[in-house]
A and B are shown apart, each in its own frame.
Chain A
Amino acid sequence: MPSIVRTFAWLEGLGWTTALRESPYGYPLIETSHVACIVVFAGLVIMMDLRLVGLAFTNAPLAQIQRRLFPWQMATFVPSTATGILLFCVDPLRYYRNVFFLAKLVLLVLAGLNALAFHLKTYRRADRWDEDSQVTALARFAGAASLLLWSATIISSRLIPNNWFK
């Protein structure tokens, strides 16, 4: 796919991506924000998942926890993604060839689809989440899948700097 390489090379050569790549303050700021936002975002998602699978917060109604956490999850997801895109643009040629980065993207999409599917299936019955046994079963599955997917995403991200595969 030579046109992708050309696009990425062009991206890498742009004034603003070069400036960011070489900056003593900008890049550290973006990278630190990326990690901080992700840790909070994923932490809250995992808390929700623990409730879904029934491992924690079992005294609180499912719908109540979800309603309270969701805005904060969205609020931290947006800067996580924005900073992630910026970081990618700084060195696209390196990242697109990195197996752990590609795995991270795939896992992210899967985690998002899992969350979307759960919401679509259960949103109309939100008031009866805790009494509806079908929702409970769905919740357990979605929660477990989410825990697995987000854990794998985090682990994959941490392995990006390793040059195990050339």
Chain B
Amino acid sequence: MLPFFQWCDGLAMSQAYRDSTYLFPLTQALHILAVTVFVGAVVIGDMWMLGWGPVGQSRTSIARSAQRVLLWAGLAVLVTGIPQFTTNALTYQRSWLFVLKMYLLAVTLVFTATVRWRVSIAEEGRLPSWVTRAVGAVSLSLWMAVTISGRLITYYG
């Protein structure tokens, strides 16, 4: 991975972000906003799966709508995330919590894109309710773990 981080570090974009006083904080602020929308869409879907929302037809349509929001917010997260990543990867990869968050997020994304994707829009009654609840609970836990592990880097990383 190190050569990849070094390559990222050397990009003109990375240098631009290092040189500028405003670019990084503003991009990061927009990134946090995009993450908030993303998490909102995840949580609303997870709540519905856990049975804390309306049931029946509207659950599926809400889940589908949430997925659209997820994709758009995800795109915004990506776009605002890339420059932050390239500018800092070489320095942050020394932190164990940072590396942990990386793996945690990869796992969470795979889970979200596969199992959760299908289960959240499944028709009412197609799956046993324990499956839906379990997926909702796992999703909520994983995303919270990602958020928390990231925040703890300053203190224990």
A–B: direct contact at CB < 8 Å: yes
Proximity string of chain A (18-53) to chain B, C-beta cutoff 8 Å, 1 when within and 0 when not:
000000100110011001101110111111001000
Q: How many A-B residue pairs have CB under 8 A?
A: 96
- Interface hub of A38, A47, A155 (most chain B Cβ within 10 A): A47
The yes or no answer to A133 lying at the interface (CB within 8 A) is no
Q: Report whether A59 and B40 are in contact in the complex, using a CB–CB cutoff of 8 Å.
A: no
Is B144 part of the contact surface with A, judged by Cβ < 8 Å?
yes
Asked whether B44 lies within 8 Å of A60 as measured between CB atoms, the reply is no
Q: List 8 A-B contacts (CB under 8 A).
A: A28-B151, A36-B148, A39-B36, A42-B40, A57-B62, A60-B54, A60-B61, A61-B58
Minimal beta-carbon separation of A48 from chain B (angstroms)? 9
Q: Which residues of A contact B (CB under 8 A)?
A: 24, 27-28, 31-32, 35-36, 38-40, 42-47, 50, 56-61, 64-65, 68-69, 72, 151, 154-155, 158-159, 162, 164
Q: Cβ of A32 and Cβ of B29 under 8 Å apart?
A: no
How would you classify the secondary structure of chain A's contact residues: helix, strand, loop or mixed?
A: helix
Whether the Cβ atoms of A47 and B40 lie closer than 8 Å is: yes
Within the complex, what minimum Cβ distance (angstroms) separates B22 from chain A?
8
Interface pair B39/A40, CB less than 8 Å apart? yes
Q: Is the CB of B37 within 8 A of A46?
A: yes
Q: B37 is contacted by which of A32, A43, A64, A155 (Cβ under 8 Å)? A: A43
Q: Which of these, B42, B47, B68, contacts A56 with CB under 8 Å?
A: B68
